[in-house]
Amino acid sequence: MNKKFLTLGVASLLTASSFAQVKPLVPNKDAIRFSKAINPENGFKHLSVLASDEYEGRETGKKGAWMAADYIRNYFKSIGLKGPVNGEYFQKIDLVNLMLKESHVTLNGQVKDYQKDYLVLPNTISDKGFTFSSDEVVFVGYGLKKDNYDDFAGVDIKGKVIMMFSNGDPTLKQGERMDRNAMMKIRKDRADYLAQNNVKAIITIDPNVDRLSEAYKKYLNDGQVMVKTKSMAEAQKQNDVPRISISSALANEILKSTNTTVADLQKKIIDSKTPASQVLNIPFSASATKTETPVRCENVLGFLEGSDPKLKNEVLVLTGHYDHIGLVNDPNAKDKVNNGADDDGSGTTGVLLMAKAFTDAKKAGKGPKRSILFMTVVGEEKGLWGSDWYSEHPVFPVENTIANLNTDMIGRIGEEYLGKPDSANYIYSIGSNMLSSDLGKLSEQVNATYTKMKLDYKYDDPKDTERIYYRSDHYNFAKLGIPIIFYYDGMLQQDYHKPGDEVSKINFPLLAKRAQLTYYTAWELANQAKRPVVDMDGAGHPKK
């Protein structure tokens, strides 16, 4: 599961469900019959391969991820799923490696050192590169225009090189935090204002430049890997304006003629709640270019066509991400592989197990009425890349996609359940009521009928500080208005994104039971008369 927190707020419901309170469905004998393919033994067969040291932590754009993609494709093909991308199983993603080709920064004629005095990130450089020079730098504090505070008042920034702090809001009281939506609005307003004034370049005072780790330097030297999505292309339009991050020491050199420092200015602005914007007369010049190299990267798709001529154009999507975070950067580490057995080898294994159960059913003449797309996505750990790509390049029309069931970490017992009586019989069910009350009810009924697990809705709480609802691939379906359920075990501390997330620690009977819950839910969705209605607003509230 991805570490990053995405935007927006959630709403919802309860803490846990009790199947005793839910009217069950009539058990489907065929569903039960074919569920037997979803068992601990088959789970171990897949996961012991995908999470092996040989697969080197399956980092996106690296050898281990390519090996995993090949394994999944070959398995989909072996059980009879079709390749839905012009007959192929791979949906290729436009992934590139951006590397800094060269860069130069001079202050008052003195050459400065890359990674010591400044940083230029390749993904902020336009395809043409940049070159600029100026005899003055306009300091604009925090670059903030808010209420009665305006860092841009009293200074002319048109066509100028500006310098500002990387983050912060001096108008906030001590301990006060800015609302996420307000922060996003301020950033947009700032970008619009700078664009309107056609600034020549933006210099950011970033304390992170003062303390670059050797691991991060290596990451920069190896290049920045990025997906060229539509949203990324929009962001790239801003790259015509050169952007440079500088250390506090270099900023102090720029400020030297004013007999002040970065720390002094910050204190002055925060204490007085008054901007200290000013023109600094000092020559500054910079240039940079980058190179761009394609990198192999793909989602792996297997398609099972529905059996009902009237319903087979409707598609249910089952997802799990097969990538993880790769090898440990520390050369002295005894265990160098972040195996990602739970995250998300377990969810990927769940998708493979469900694919076998449904293809067995079809071969026996009991295939689902609606079509099912089994999709293991890449790049989740980098920022939900694979599912974002699919959301912008859907293989099947969005309007025909009835729901997404996403399994991301279903193989272990999370911290809250360790030592509890129900530790081996629970799952966090996330988002089932966000867009469709039908899906929420069906989920409860399926569980009451088949698996009788504790469905914990903790992460549907709008006050969830971990913002789990936004941190896995289901979200890129939810943002399109497609009903989703995200199944998750809650492991956030023990071995999370560490080499200790290994196959030996997976509870395979529990993994299989959670995958069966997903499978039974998928069975009902794929065979019921009507698709789940979208009657909620995406935050668990009825549509107006």
Round to whole Å and give the CA distance between 370 and 367.
9
Using the predicted structure, report yes or no on whether residue 318 has a pLDDT greater than 90.
Answer: yes
pLDDT tens by residue, 504-516 = 999 999 999 999 9
Q: Is 66 exposed, middle or buried (0-12, 13-18, 19+ CB in 10 A)?
A: middle
User: Looking at residue 165, what is its pLDDT?
Assistant: 97
User: Looking at residue 218, what is its pLDDT?
Assistant: 85
pLDDT tens by residue, 162-172 = 999 999 999 99
Residue with tokens 């039971």: 513
| Residue among 386, 387, 540 nearest 457 (CA) | 540
Confidence tier at 6 by pLDDT (50, 70, 90): very low
Confidence tier at 521 by pLDDT (50, 70, 90): very high
Please give the mean pLDDT across all residues of the chain: 93
Confidence tier at 329 by pLDDT (50, 70, 90): confident
Confidence tier at 236 by pLDDT (50, 70, 90): low
Best CATH choice for the domain 96-293 from the list 3.30.420, 1.10.15, 3.50.30, 3.40.50? 3.50.30
pTM over 0.95: no
Confidence tier at 151 by pLDDT (50, 70, 90): very high
- What does the domain layout of the chain look like in residue ranges? 19-93+297-527, 96-293
- Asked whether this chain's domains 19-93+297-527 and 96-293 adopt the same fold, the reply is no
Angle CA 247–253–254, to nearest 5:
95
Confidence tier at 10 by pLDDT (50, 70, 90): very low
| Residue among 375, 302, 366 nearest 344 (CA) | 375
User: Looking at residue 184, what is its pLDDT?
Assistant: 81
Confidence tier at 19 by pLDDT (50, 70, 90): low
Q: Compute the average pLDDT of residues 258-286.
A: 96
Using the predicted structure, report yes or no on whether residue 112 has a pLDDT greater than 90.
Answer: yes
Q: 19-93+297-527: which CATH architecture?
A: 3-Layer(aba) Sandwich (3.40)
Using the predicted structure, report yes or no on whether residue 469 has a pLDDT greater than 60.
Answer: yes
Cα dihedral 333→334→340→346 (10° resolution): -160
Confidence tier at 525 by pLDDT (50, 70, 90): very high
